[in-house]
Structure 1
Amino acid sequence: MSIINPDKIQLFLWRKYLPWLYRHSAAKGTPYDYYSVFFKDADNNRYILKEVHHNAPDQEGYLLLSSLYKNGDINKKIVDIPEMDAEIIHHRKYYSQPYKSIIAFAIDRALKIVTLKTHISRLKGRVVSEAKSDTETISRDRFNLLRLLVTSYVNQRPSRTSSGFSRDEVIALLYGTLWYKHIKNEAFRRKITLLLESLVISGDLTERQGSYYIQGQAITTLVEYEKEERRVSQQQKMHKNILRFMFVITVSTLLIILVLLGMAGIVDLHAIWQKILQIKPVRFMLKFI
């Protein structure tokens, strides 16, 4: 039996922060500093928080959720919220900060870990942008881009209503939400466009109305590439082992030759050993040992 009940912790945090999140929503907050709360149930229905009613612990509190797929609102008991996937997004003037759970949001409210990490990432991006005008993409080839899209598709956030990716969304995944402010934003756009078109031609993606959708062929492509990657890695390890073995054989051969020459009286092994000991790194190693 688990001592810590995650559902109870989430329920406690939802009761604590839901009124605050509602007061700082798009309807109540400022245009450049507000929060959106999204939910997804087991049937893949997606909702956004609209209103909070009767949030007191001794009352049957409920939420008014607005559907993202169709017109209409539903009532949802607050006690049922921990059973749903949730996402909280803090919208700022130039970027947005997502939280994958109410626990992550609560921790950041108290310790500012996620916020600090975001600011450091933005500062790093700004410094790199100034220092290096030709910043390379995170995904340097089409395989990494395809793997990123498959991962984002599988772990689709509650705030997303479409399984497709627009070109700008793909660029934001790679370069961050402020990619359009970079001096090379047009280079980003052209490069990603070519990679996406290449994946469409190979059947890994399909393009419909400006959005790109993952196809089953993408899994086959990833599996084949990973097999090839493992094969190359094994060959490199084998090559390194062969080089080590050849080095050991060479050194052993030289030692055997020196011993034979010493036994024949051609080489003075004692004199050679004394000269070796005069080498400073060797003396240091012997003293250290």
Structure 2
Amino acid sequence: MQLFLWRKYLPWLQRNSAAKGTPHDYFSVFFKDSDNNRYILKDVQGLDNGQDGKLSLSSLYQSSDVDKKFVHVTDMETEIVHYKKNHTLRYKSIFQFVIDHTLKIITLKTQIARLKGRLVSGAKSDTETISRDRFNLLRLLVASYVNQRPSRASSGFSRDEMIALLYGTLWYKHIKNEAFRRKITLLLESLVISGDLTESQGNYYVQGQAITTLVEYEKEDRRVSQQQKMHKNIVRFMFVITVATLLIILVLLAMAGIVDLQVIWQKILQIKPVRFLLKFI
């Protein structure tokens, strides 16, 4: 089944790779073999000839190309990356890619998450947004270090590699490329100052302090979330108390003969939105 899907979609992935020069919509296919050698797909040949097909792969460790038989594609760990305008979609298998390519489930889920994040960020202050960006970058670095993908060639991260990880390998063609560079540079320098990363010859390496920072941030984030939840519950409780108090006052005034509840109710019903709502119900 995997060979069938690879044979069907590999040519399409190659046609829509970075070679077409579109920075906002292209794919890259990475492979990792049992010897931990990592490659990126360069070309496919002869897939119509069954098992005689061949993959041309470029090594991520050195400037050389390697040819592998198509039938060996299932023996390697794979990663398909879809670089879009300001984010990436990653598929750990050909099955994930085919499902999303057909049904757009992962794409829709990602768009909803990005929209939610944009709305939440819009409601927060600039300080909170920068703090969250810093945390998200560090968490991404730790996750990439622990679960080194086939697209990663070393344990160190250069600034441009981090920008490519977040915005795609053709980020330098994007209209906001300078903004990407400045933002990531400042965040990386901040993480070096705090001891979460170390810098050596232009590469950044994750340190043990990063775990402590992530744990502390998550604890603080949970505390803030609990406080916000408690505040919302207090506001709701006060609203209920206020409404209940007004109703009690109206009932007492009606019992004293000061107000006529029936007249008040008729006036309320004359309000068009209320009449519409009652008819709708």
Kindly indicate whether residue 155 of structure 2 is the aligned counterpart of residue 163 of structure 1.
yes
Could you tell me the TM-score, scaled by structure 1's length? 0.63
Residue ranges of structure 1 left out of the alignment (5+ in a row): 1-8, 25-29, 91-96, 122-135
Runs of 4+ more than 4 Å apart:
13-18, 30-33, 35-38, 47-59, 61-80, 87-90, 97-108
Structure-2 residue corresponding to 1:238: 230
Q: One-letter code of the match for 1:212?
A: Y
Structure-1 residue corresponding to 2:77: 85
Question: What RMSD over aligned residues (CA atoms) do the two structures have, in Å?
Answer: 4.6
Residue 263 to residue 181, structure 1, CA distance change in 2 (3 Å): same
Q: One-letter code of the match for 2:162?
A: V
- How far does the alpha carbon of each residue in 1:103-136 deviate from its partner, in whole angstroms, 9 at most, with x for none? 577789x97x8xxx9xxx9xxxxxxxxxxxxxx9
Kindly indicate whether residue 188 of structure 2 is the aligned counterpart of residue 196 of structure 1.
yes
Kindly indicate whether residue 239 of structure 2 is the aligned counterpart of residue 247 of structure 1.
yes
Could you tell me the TM-score, scaled by structure 2's length? 0.64
Cα separation, 1, equivalents of 2:277 and 2:241: 23
Structure-2 residue corresponding to 1:219: 211
Structure-2 residue corresponding to 1:46: 38
Deviation at 1:204, TM superposition (A): 1.4
Kindly indicate whether residue 11 of structure 2 is the aligned counterpart of residue 11 of structure 1.
no
Structure-1 residue corresponding to 2:279: 287
Residue 149 to residue 82, structure 1, CA distance change in 2 (3 Å): same
- How far does the alpha carbon of each residue in 1:54-102 deviate from its partner, in whole angstroms, 9 at most, with x for none? 986688x998988765899999776554232034689xxxxxx987545
Kindly indicate whether residue 261 of structure 2 is the aligned counterpart of residue 269 of structure 1.
yes
- How far does the alpha carbon of each residue in 1:130-166 deviate from its partner, in whole angstroms, 9 at most, with x for none? xxxxxx9xx8431122123233334433243212211
Deviation at 1:171, TM superposition (A): 2.0
Residue 215 to residue 42, structure 1, CA distance change in 2 (3 Å): farther
Deviation at 1:39, TM superposition (A): 3.0
Tell me: higher relative CO, structure 1 or 2? Use CA pairs within 8 A at least 6 residues apart: 2
Secondary structure of the corresponding residue to residue 212 of structure 1:
strand
Cα separation, 2, equivalents of 1:254 and 1:235: 29
Cα separation, 1, equivalents of 2:28 and 2:224: 46
Identity %: 75
Instruction: Tell me how many residue pairs correspond in the alignment.
Output: 244
Deviation at 1:42, TM superposition (A): 4.2
Which structure shows the bigger proportion of residues in helix conformation? 2
Residue ranges of structure 2 left out of the alignment (5+ in a row): 83-88, 112-125
Mean Cα displacement is larger for which, 263-272 or 144-153?
144-153
Alignment partner of 1:146 out of 138, 145, 152: 138
Residue pair 2:51, 2:71 contacting (<8 A) in 1 also: no
Cα separation, 2, equivalents of 1:240 and 1:189: 39
Cα separation, 1, equivalents of 2:208 and 2:2: 36
Q: One-letter code of the match for 2:136?
A: N
